């Protein structure tokens, strides 16, 4: 059966008119004009201006173009499968519908153009017929339908149940109604065509009319119209649909719809390690550089600036941000958007209007708004807990919070402008290698009487147990360190500690912005590790675990690093630690995923496996768990800063545990244990709830004294 030629003749000859060849030429001329207008719009929308500013970027970055084929296929899979977008079902589904609907229609249009403009004129072959045509009709109709459904779902979210974190600019509504208009006029045109042709009894296509299901439904709207009226209406709506489609293409360049081109590129350029990149200042730069950190936008890397182009303001980073959700002046989306807008503001000073060339403007010449203060407020910069929730949630693979750390570095190392309470923390790290400023000579006092082997006495061990500052100096967390060494001893683990030779890992210094202090602390530890030929390290603190595992390597320290929960889980499963009895009085247990062990390093199952092995109470999940876990509020150096704005993050997290019906909160991070214990007291739940480190419960279950 050859139905395709019949259809094309009926559509374009009978309905559009005998002048169709002329109309076809006009359409292609319009298409060329639209392409020209698209690029003109890009220049008028500021895209090319921002591009010139990206080229001024001087900041360092990780490799972004290595293993291009691996990057390419990852980006293809992520875009077409919507792997990150579908993590949020409602938003993910409507975007999935819109994307795939338009992609199907794009392929359908390309097939028509290929058939009519290339294959038939050149090779005189007509493939658009028979079963192929029928399936083509079904699939393209369904594609258009799901795109309309997706757009209507998005509109419903904008109009009827918009969350507080979702900003609502006029373009957001325009885009969605524009999509609906393009698709509906397309179906109206199809319905008119079908009413005049396939729907009519005796037409060769009449038996196959439901192979265009949506078009058939639209055709019912015109059942009472005569053929002459249908022809006139069809011609008018066909040109209306064409005009809307062409205008939509031009509008892409002006709107956030440009993300359909830019975001896949940003996914291709992602950091392949999965770790947000905090740029390393080369150690030699501390002797030669004139400035540190970022206070001019061109001090970012080109990728930092390109991130601002990929952001489509979806707000997922804001939705999960603990600072925003406790009324702090931080919305990660707005930081990225502010950088984008600032690029255009600074371009007025940096780009010569005559030559169009951009240059870096010395501070003494620049008279425009400042990046820090005028564009991004200091309270915004200091509100971040570096929990990585924004990076984890972002479907465009933007790295939001590292840009704030770059600003902190400038404030700390160039302006000495930081929260006053941090001054004592820095002094403590500088003088005694711990933020409490307790004498470094007492670092091993917690271990007295515990039969803890020292590396200096043992000489070498399979594992270095890196206790960390909290385990050595904080009274509550000394109990955790004690529990761990008792378990290690009982299991016969070959380990040792450094004692007074251990220093602060430097995590808080780095994330507060004092890169110089961090590197001094890290290099001191690395030299000590070298002296004992350290290969494997067990940490008690997720912050120490992350920085030793992922960031010391930049300074020459490559180690096999484990968090204690990984070791305990293996020891329990292998029978080297036997859990002899349930721990009484725990009730319902919930586990708090520390950001630095969870999102940063994807350790989610081991803690839950260990808790279940205790057989001491049912395990329930809080509303925010695993990769969506809510930060305790202590990361990014916030452990050492007063929380004076909004509500306290630790209280919000504790409330989630209360809402889950938990009586015991388990954690495996010294900071989290402190913050959640405080949250229980602050909410006056200390008679009903308790917080433990998991190691403490394992010690009790093992019956070890």
Residues 539 and 664 in one domain: no
Inside any domain, residue 480: yes
Q: Is the pTM of this model over 0.85?
A: yes
Can you tell me the distance from the alpha carbon of 537 to that of 211, in angstroms, rounded to the nearest whole number? Answer: 65
Evaluate whether 338 touches 291 at the Cβ level (below 8 Å).
no
Residues 361 and 246 in one domain: no
Exposed/middle/buried for 605, CB within 10 Å: 0-12, 13-18, 19+? exposed
Residues 561 and 599 in one domain: no
Neighbours of 494 (CB within 10 A): 12
Can you tell me the distance from the alpha carbon of 68 to that of 71, in angstroms, rounded to the nearest whole number? Answer: 5
Inside any domain, residue 277: no
Rg for the chain (alpha carbons), in Å? Answer: 31
Residues 467 and 520 in one domain: yes
Q: What CATH number should be reported for the domain holding residue 309?
A: 1.10.1060
Residues 103 and 236 in one domain: yes
Inside any domain, residue 652: yes
Inside any domain, residue 346: yes
Q: Which pLDDT score, from 0 to 100, does residue 22 have?
A: 65
Q: What CATH number should be reported for the domain holding residue 111?
A: 1.20.950
Can you tell me the distance from the alpha carbon of 365 to that of 133, in angstroms, rounded to the nearest whole number? Answer: 66
Inside any domain, residue 42: no
Q: Which pLDDT score, from 0 to 100, does residue 6 have?
A: 41
Can you tell me the distance from the alpha carbon of 372 to that of 440, in angstroms, rounded to the nearest whole number? Answer: 37
The length of the chain in residues reads 705
Domain boundary residue, one of 231, 254, 277: 254
Residues 610 and 562 in one domain: no
Q: Which pLDDT score, from 0 to 100, does residue 111 have?
A: 84
Can you tell me the distance from the alpha carbon of 250 to that of 8, in angstroms, rounded to the nearest whole number? Answer: 28
Domain boundary residue, one of 361, 384, 413: 413
Can you tell me the distance from the alpha carbon of 563 to that of 669, in angstroms, rounded to the nearest whole number? Answer: 10
Can you tell me the distance from the alpha carbon of 445 to that of 448, in angstroms, rounded to the nearest whole number? Answer: 6
Nearest Cα residue to 671 out of 636, 642, 634, 641: 634
Residues 430 and 486 in one domain: yes
Residues 683 and 610 in one domain: yes
Domain housing 446? 422-573
Residues 350 and 404 in one domain: yes
Residues 317 and 248 in one domain: no
Q: Which two tokens stand for residue 287?
A: 């002797």
- The three-state secondary structure class of 528 is helix
Inside any domain, residue 541: yes
If one counts the domains in the chain, the total is 4
Domain boundary residue, one of 203, 236, 254: 254
β-strands 619-620, 690-693 pairing: unpaired
Inside any domain, residue 269: no
Inside any domain, residue 528: yes
Q: Which two tokens stand for residue 29?
A: 């001329």
For 245-266, the pLDDT digits (tens) are 889 999 999 889 999 999 999 9
Phi, then psi, of 645 in degrees rounded to 5: -105, 140
Q: Which residue stretches of the chain have pLDDT < 50?
A: 1-20
Q: What CATH number should be reported for the domain holding residue 541?
A: 3.40.50
Residues 250 and 300 in one domain: no
Residues 236 and 345 in one domain: no
């Amino acid at each position: 059966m050859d139905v395709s030629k019949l259809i094309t003749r009926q559509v374009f000859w009978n309905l559009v008119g005998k002048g169709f060849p002329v109309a076809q030429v006009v359409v292609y001329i319009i298409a060329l004009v639209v392409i020209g207008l698209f690029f003109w719009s890009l220049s008028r929308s500021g895209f090319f201006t921002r591009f010139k500013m990206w080229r001024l970027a001087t900041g360092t970055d990780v490799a972004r173009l290595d293993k291009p084929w691996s990057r390419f296929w990852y980006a293809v899979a992520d875009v077409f499968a919507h792997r990150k977008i579908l993590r949020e079902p409602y938003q993910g589904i409507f975007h999935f519908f819109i994307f795939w609907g338009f992609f199907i229609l794009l392929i359908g249009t390309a097939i028509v153009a290929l058939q009519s403009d290339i294959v038939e004129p050149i090779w005189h072959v007509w493939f658009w017929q028979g079963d192929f045509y029928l399936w083509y009709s079904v699939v393209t109709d369904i594609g258009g339908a799901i795109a309309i459904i997706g757009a209507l779902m998005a509109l419903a979210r904008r109009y009827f149940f918009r969350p507080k974190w979702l900003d609502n600019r006029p373009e957001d509504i325009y885009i969605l109604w524009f999509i609906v208009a393009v698709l509906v006029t397309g179906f109206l045109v199809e319905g008119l065509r079908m009413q005049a042709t396939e729907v009519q009894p005796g037409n060769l296509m009449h038996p196959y009319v439901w192979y265009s299901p949506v078009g058939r439904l639209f055709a019912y709207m015109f059942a009472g119209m005569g053929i002459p009226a249908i022809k006139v209406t069809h011609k008018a709506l066909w040109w209306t649909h064409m005009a809307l489609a062409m205008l939509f293409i031009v509008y892409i360049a002006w709107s956030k719809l440009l993300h359909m081109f830019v975001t896949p590129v940003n996914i291709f350029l992602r950091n392949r390690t999965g770790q947000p990149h905090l740029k390393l200042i080369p150690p030699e730069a501390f002797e030669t550089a004139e400035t540190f950190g970022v206070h001019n936008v061109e001090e970012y890397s080109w990728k930092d600036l390109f991130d601002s182009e990929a952001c489509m303001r979806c707000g997922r980073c804001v939705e999960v941000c603990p600072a925003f959700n406790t009324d702090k002046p931080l919305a990660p989306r707005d930081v990225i958007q502010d950088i984008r807008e600032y690029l255009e503001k600074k371009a007025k000073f940096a780009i010569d209007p005559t030559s169009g060339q951009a240059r870096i403007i010395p501070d003494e010449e620049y008279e425009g708004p400042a990046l820090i203060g005028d564009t991004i407020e200091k309270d915004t910069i200091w509100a971040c807990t570096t929990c990585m929730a924004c990076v984890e949630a972002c479907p465009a693979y933007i790295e939001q919070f590292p840009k704030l750390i770059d600003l902190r570095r400038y404030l700390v190392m160039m302006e000495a402008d930081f929260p006053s309470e941090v001054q004592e923390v820095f002094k403590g790290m500088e003088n005694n290698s711990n933020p409490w400023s307790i004498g470094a000579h007492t670092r091993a006092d917690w271990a007295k009487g515990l039969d803890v082997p020292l590396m200096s006495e043992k000489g070498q061990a399979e594992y270095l147990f890196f206790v960390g500052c909290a385990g050595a100096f904080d009274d509550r967390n000394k109990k955790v360190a004690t529990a761990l060494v008792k378990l290690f001893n009982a299991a016969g683990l070959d380990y040792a500690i450094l004692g007074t030779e251990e220093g602060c890992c430097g995590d808080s210094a780095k994330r507060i912005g004092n890169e110089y202090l961090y590197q001094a602390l890290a290099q001191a530890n690395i030299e000590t590790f070298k002296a004992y030929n350290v290969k494997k390290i067990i940490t008690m603190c997720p912050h120490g675990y992350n920085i030793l595992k992922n960031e010391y390597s930049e300074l020459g320290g490559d180690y096999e690093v484990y968090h204690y929960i990984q070791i305990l889980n293996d020891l329990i499963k292998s029978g080297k630690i036997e859990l002899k009895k349930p721990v009484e009085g725990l009730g319902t247990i919930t586990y708090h995923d520390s950001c630095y062990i969870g999102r940063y390093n994807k350790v989610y199952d081991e803690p839950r496996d260990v808790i279940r092995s205790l057989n001491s109470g049912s395990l329930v999940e809080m509303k925010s768990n695993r990769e969506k876990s809510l930060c305790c509020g202590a990361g990014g150096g916030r452990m050492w800063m007063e929380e004076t704005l909004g509500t306290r993050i630790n209280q919000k997290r504790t409330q989630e545990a209360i809402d889950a019906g938990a009586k015991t909160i388990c954690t495996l991070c010294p900071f989290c244990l402190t913050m959640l214990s405080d949250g229980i007291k602050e909410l006056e739940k200390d008679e009903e709830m308790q917080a433990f480190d998991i190691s403490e419960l394992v010690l009790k279950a093992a019956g070890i004294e």
